[in-house]
Structures are given as structure tokens and as C-alpha cells.
Chains A and B, each alone.
Chain A
Amino acid sequence: MTDRETHWAGLMRAAIRGDDGAYRRLLKDLAPMLRALASRGLARHRLGSEDVEDVVQETLLALHLKRGTWDERQPFSPWLYAIARNKLIDNMRRRGRQVHIAIDDIGELPDGETTPTAGLNGMDAERLVSRLSGRQREIVVAISIEGASARQVAERLGMKEGAVRVALHRALRSLAKAFRAETP
């Protein structure tokens, strides 16, 4: 078991116990690795790198929405790689590719191999956010782009904080669903 595995699993456990800071650190930590994984997978199938960020974002969303399928007694990395692989395949299938990726085809990355270009936009995500219903879009934009907290958004929109959280969660689910339905 690598240090990285221990580190990630520790952050994820803390996140599940309610430590949002640990969750944010984990996701920020994972993004460059997922980016490297996605670009390598797409390159192997001779697909352009313009979809890389979409795959990363879809994987992060799936990690979030499906975190209940991680068994805390099991290692974290194989679970994460399995999700990343699924999302990569989904992305390629949507683009009409026949893909056959063997179970171990996307193996573990050597430590340190990452692609840190975090500023890249996911083209699809941009379009998908614009498709969210008005209130949901307002909330997502305020929290994600303006960096507001749920409480601040609640005050600004005259909503209860709980209602903002519910709307945010629904918005993330809609976003994941919209990714799946997307046909370029």
C-alpha cells in the first residue's frame, strides 16, 4: 500500500465523517492524477485531448455521488480507478467509439505522474451548467465560481441554508445526469 493510498483513504474517511476541508483537499489532490489518467486513456485510443477535462469533471462528480459504494475497509485507489475507467469509457462511447479496456489496462499511475493544468474548462460542463434551472444555476455559480458559502448564498437569495444545500445537491445530480445524456 502506497503512502498516497493511505493519504487519500484517510482524507476520504475524514470527509465522510463531515470534514469538508479534508474533502476539498482530497478532490484537489485527485484532479491532476485523474487528468493524467484521462489524457493517457484518450491518447491510447487516438482521441484528442479536448475531452480530458470533461472526463475529469465527470469522474469527480461520480466519485461524489457514488461515494456510498466505497467500502471504508477496502483500499480507496482501486475504487477510484474503477470509477475513472467507467467515466472514460462512457465518454468515448458517447463519441461513438468502440472501446474495449481490459480490467487492468488503466493500472496504477507511478507516483508523481500528473498533469497539473487545473485552469482548463470542461466544455460540456460549461454548457451543462447553463442548462440548469434558474435557481440551481444561481446557487451553483455563486458557490463554485464566486466562492460563496451555502450560508452566504442563503442570505443573498432569502432561502434557508438547508434548502440551498438541497438545491446544490440536486444541481450536482442534474449535472452528472446531463453529462450522461450529452451527445456531441
Chain B
Amino acid sequence: MNTDNLIAAIAADGAAGPPSIARRMAVALGIGGAISGVLFAYSLGVRPDIASALQTWRFATKLVIVLTSFAVTLWAAARLARPDANELRTLAVLVLPLAMLALAIAGELALSSPATWPAWAIGSNSRLCLISVAVLSVAPLAALLAALRAGAPRLPAMAGAVAGLLAGSLAATLYATHCVDDSPLFVALWYPPPIALATLVGAVAGHRMLRW
């Protein structure tokens, strides 16, 4: 088969039809997020005092950080699905939520007395946090990986890892609305491990599934 023959076959298949990778990822996030959302609503639910909690700087900061993490990883994951992404420049945005967390930690250390730090950091239910964030990230990660099979990432493992980070951020955002441990010290200690686990799973799965 020469190249002209192949071109005839490709042209006969036509270019119209498939949704863009961005749309596929949006749909995947919608489906995965809905599954985790239902799971969350049935098992944990939003904390009852959320209205008053939103008035406190710790809870508000916690929400802003997880939402920022969600937003930047969403942007990065969509970029990395494309073959012409600049990986370094894309990953640079991930510094933003980390910097915000660092700033919040500094604020906590400046405002509260050292005697309270261990209690803030250990919190009331760290195990629930670890398990919930890990479990809630499963459905979004699976859906995102399925959508990313239509992508063309230059580095499949990295695309999978950022999908894991995105799924973990979504799970953390859900869990953050339930959890009463609002200190940045708690967030910094207990949120990253399950998110890192989702990232690792995403990287391994991406390496296997996302080559094209």
C-alpha cells in the first residue's frame, strides 16, 4: 500500500465526528465526579455547619486551596493530552496550590499558639480523610483515563499522573466540605498522601494505557 492509497482510505473515513479531547475529558469528569458525588452524599455528606464554617478563615482557605488545585490540574491535564504540550511550562502551574498551602501554614503558625499545633495537625479523623479521598478519586480517575485514550500525550505516564492529581483534587474538594479539621496543618499532613496515591496509580496506568 503506498501513501496515496492510505490517504484515500483516511479521507474516506472522514475528519468529521469525534469530539475534541477537551470535551471527552469534561464528560469523563462529569461522569466520574457524579459517581463520587453520589457516593459522598450517601456516605459522608456536607458538614451541617457549612454556612457558618464558610465564615471562618481556615475552612474558607481550605476550600480555596483544594478548588485551586482542582482548577490548575484540570487545565494541566487537558494540556498534557495534546502532543504539542510544553510539559515544564504546564506543570509549573501546579506550584500555585502548593504556594497557597505554604502561605496558609505560615498564617496558622503565626496566628495560633504552638501548644495547639499538634492537635490541629492530627485532627479528629485523619484515617477517614485518607480513605475517603482515595476512594472518591477512583471513579474520576478511571473515567479520565478512559477519555485520555483518545488523547496523544507525548509523555503518557505524565498525562496519567496529572489525571490522578486531578481526580485526587476533585476527591479532596468533596471531602473538604465534610471534614471539620480545617487547619492548614491538617490539610498539609493528610490530604497529600491519598492524592499522591491517585497520582501514582494514574502514572502507572498512563504508562500502560495511553501510548499511541
- Extra inter-chain contacts (17) besides given A60-B7, A171-B9, CB under 8 Å: A23-B10, A23-B14, A23-B15, A24-B7, A60-B3, A61-B10, A64-B13, A69-B20, A69-B151, A118-B2, A144-B1, A144-B5, A144-B8, A144-B9, A165-B12, A168-B9, A172-B9
Docked-complex contact B84 and A66, CB < 8 angstroms: no
Docked-complex contact B2 and A165, CB < 8 angstroms: no
Write the nearest CB–CB distance from B91 to chain A, whole angstroms.
15
Docked-complex contact B154 and A27, CB < 8 angstroms: no
List of A residues within 8 angstroms of B122 by Cβ: none
Write the nearest CB–CB distance from B77 to chain A, whole angstroms.
13
Docked-complex contact B2 and A122, CB < 8 angstroms: yes
List of B residues within 8 angstroms of A143 by Cβ: 8-9, 12
Q: Does A83 contact B (CB under 8 A)?
A: yes
List of B residues within 8 angstroms of A112 by Cβ: none
Tell me the chain B residues, 1-27 only, with Cβ under 8 Å from chain A. Answer: 1-16, 18-22, 24
Q: Does B42 contact A (CB under 8 A)?
A: no
Which single member of B3, B9, B150 contacts A122 (CB below 8 Å)?
B3
- Complex alpha-carbon distance, A86 and B207, angstroms: 15
Which single member of B3, B14, B82, B86 contacts A69 (CB below 8 Å)?
B82
Give the residue name and chain of the A residue nearest to B16 (CB).
Answer: A18
Docked-complex contact A145 and B1, CB < 8 angstroms: yes
- Complex alpha-carbon distance, A150 and B12, angstroms: 7
- Complex alpha-carbon distance, A23 and B113, angstroms: 68
Which single member of B5, B21, B84, B212 contacts A62 (CB below 8 Å)?
B212
Give the residue name and chain of the A residue nearest to B24 (CB).
Answer: A68
Q: Does B53 contact A (CB under 8 A)?
A: no
Which single member of B7, B13, B21, B152 contacts A169 (CB below 8 Å)?
B13
- Complex alpha-carbon distance, A6 and B118, angstroms: 61
Docked-complex contact A79 and B13, CB < 8 angstroms: no
Q: Does B81 contact A (CB under 8 A)?
A: yes
Q: With A18-B14, A18-B16 given, is the CB distance from A122 to B152 under 8 Å?
A: no
Q: With A16-B15, A81-B84, A82-B83 given, is the CB distance from A27 to B10 under 8 Å?
A: yes
Chain B contact residues, CB within 8 Å of chain A = 1-16, 18-22, 24, 81-84, 86, 150-152, 154, 211-212
Q: Does A37 contact B (CB under 8 A)?
A: no
Report, as a range, how many residues of chain A touch the other chain.
35 or more
Where chain A touches its partner, the secondary structure class is: helix
Contact with B along A10-54 (1 / 0, CB 8 A): 001001111010011001100100000000000000000000010
List of A residues within 8 angstroms of B13 by Cβ: 64, 165, 168-169, 172
In the complex, the number of residue pairs spanning A and B with C-beta atoms less than 8 Å apart equals 135
Q: With A68-B150, A69-B21 given, is the CB distance from A15 to B15 under 8 Å?
A: yes
List of B residues within 8 angstroms of A119 by Cβ: 2, 4
Tell me the chain A residues, 57-76 only, with Cβ under 8 Å from chain B. Answer: 57, 60-62, 64-71, 74
Docked-complex contact A57 and B6, CB < 8 angstroms: yes
List of B residues within 8 angstroms of A31 by Cβ: 3-4, 7
26 examples of A-B residue contacts, CB within 8 angstroms: A15-B15, A16-B16, A18-B15, A20-B12, A24-B8, A28-B4, A64-B10, A64-B13, A66-B151, A66-B212, A67-B18, A69-B20, A69-B150, A69-B152, A79-B84, A118-B4, A122-B2, A125-B6, A140-B9, A143-B8, A143-B9, A143-B12, A144-B1, A165-B12, A172-B10, A180-B212
Docked-complex contact A120 and B3, CB < 8 angstroms: yes
Most buried by A among B12, B13, B83, B84: B12
Docked-complex contact A83 and B11, CB < 8 angstroms: no
